Amino acid sequence: MSVLRITGGRALRGSVRVHGAKNSVLPIFAACLVARGVTVIHNCPNIADVDAAMQILIHLGCKAERDGDTVTVDTSTMTNAEVPHSLMQEMRSSVIFLGSILGRCGEASISTPGGCELGPRPIDMHLAALRQLGAEITDNGGSLVCRANRLRGAKITLRSPSVGATENAILAACFAEGTTVISNAAREPEISDLQRYLRALGITVLGAGTPTIVVEGRLVRVDTAHRVIPDRIVAVTYLCAAAATGGEITLTDVNPAHFTTVTDALTNMGCAITRTGDSVTLSASGRLYALEPVMTEPYPGFPTDAQAGLMAACLRAQGTTSFIENIFDNRYRHADEMRRFGANIKLEGRVALVTGVKSLKAAPVKSPDLRGGAALVIAALSAEGTSEVSDIHHIDRGYDDLAGALTQLGAEIVRIDS
Ligand code: EPU
């Protein structure tokens, strides 16, 4: 079991490069099935979820090889339309492969991703979208079999702007005859990155970043290259860490426009933030201030993935900040662990009330999930004494060497693998 041992109290200083976005790479891997050729993907983070997605591609008969932060995927050799239960369980977002496997093979067989640490994560909108495109789907007690001899373009209106359902609908639509119009689509930057990749393949995809996306399906056989956008959630994790500890850090290779809701919040807390092109600098000194209510919303609203990190930055702020989690039912599991540091957090359903305390004390804590685990690292960095964060396999799913990056910024943090 691996742990991060962290001695808090050091202000973070220096500069760190932000790696590519997990939530972009995963759908782009699924989109490689559309290419039917070789895709060279640059800026691919070395994280467990990317490894799991590479294993899925290999299981499907494709080739996927890593060289540094470049992954080369060849889907011309695809032979299999089934993702086994073991791979589905490794990464809940493996459901993102459903639309493109179905489109490519005329069938797809996966198990339903289980109930997750963030609460139930149904896939009804994914399935409804695929059915509208012509898929027949049977659910044999957790194992889904999808078939479609032909997919046909359709008008799809999502009940809410689900990121994964938007991606699955776009990918299946690439194989459909005719035009698909997806309304109430998710507007996240990762959807725009997917559109950019598909356009490089020669597919007509319009509207990413708006609620209406139009896809013209067509058969392609293309070799291409793609550079994944920077990970906006990794970026804000580092910013929240520097806000919590004080100091001054610069992030390079970021797109600050992708996380203005978070930088605005940090500015309102009393941090000074400057942006220049693809970098952002945050400096913080003294006690920060509590915020007006922070409500998580689909993009361009405040991201649910940044809620835990910002909460960690609020633990010692002056006053009370209320968080309202609107996306997932169970995304406050870090709160119980944060209380071990002496944090004052009251939970009432979707609302968490965080009243800043003067100081936090080191404690042993367990990562409950990916972003919650990273938030506990932030809390430990700002606590007095030496803490241990365990269950860090959750953190490894989305952060490429978090301990290394924080060490570069002057944190006292070591990873102990046993
Ligand atoms: N939902 C349904 N039915 C569906 C699909 C979603 O009810 O068919 C609900 C979900 O249960 C949730 C809400 O809709 O309450 C939003 O879910 P969404 O589908 O947008 O999320 P996702 O595609 O499963 C992606 C990210 C998450 C991120 C969310 C929201 C990837 C691989 N994952 O998940 O990232 O929190 O969007 O922005 O892109 C993370 O990186 O830590 C992470 C959890």
Report CA(286)–ligand 1 centroid distance (Å).
Answer: 36
- Burial grade of 25 (CB within 10 A; 0-12, 13-18, 19 or more): buried
pLDDT at 114: 60
Question: How does 353-389 read in b/e, with b if 16+ C-beta sit within 10 Å?
Answer: ebbbeeebebbebbbbbbbbbbbbbbbbbbbeeebbb
Q: Mean per-residue pLDDT for 86-112?
A: 91
**Residues tagged active-site:** 116
pLDDT, tens only, 294-335: 999 999 999 999 999 999 999 999 999 999 999 999 899 999
Ligand 1, atom 16, residue with closest C-alpha: 162
Side-chain half-sphere CA neighbours of 50 within 13 A: 29
> Does residue 121 register a pLDDT over 90?
no
Q: Domains of the chain (ranges plus CATH)? A: 3-19+230-416 (3.65.10.10), 22-227 (3.65.10.10)
Q: Is the CB of 328 under 6 A from ligand 1?
A: yes
Q: What is the mean pLDDT of the chain?
A: 96
Token pair recorded at residue 288: 């920060």
Q: Is the CB of 327 under 6 A from ligand 1?
A: yes
**Torsion angles phi and psi, residue 41, rounded to 5:** -105, 115
**Torsion angles phi and psi, residue 236, rounded to 5:** -75, -25
Ligand 1, atom 29, residue with closest C-alpha: 163
> Does residue 2 register a pLDDT over 60?
yes
> Does residue 257 register a pLDDT over 60?
yes
Report CA(49)–ligand 1 centroid distance (Å).
Answer: 15
Token pair recorded at residue 207: 């509207």
> Does residue 120 register a pLDDT over 90?
no
pLDDT, tens only, 282-292: 999 988 999 99
pLDDT at 348: 96
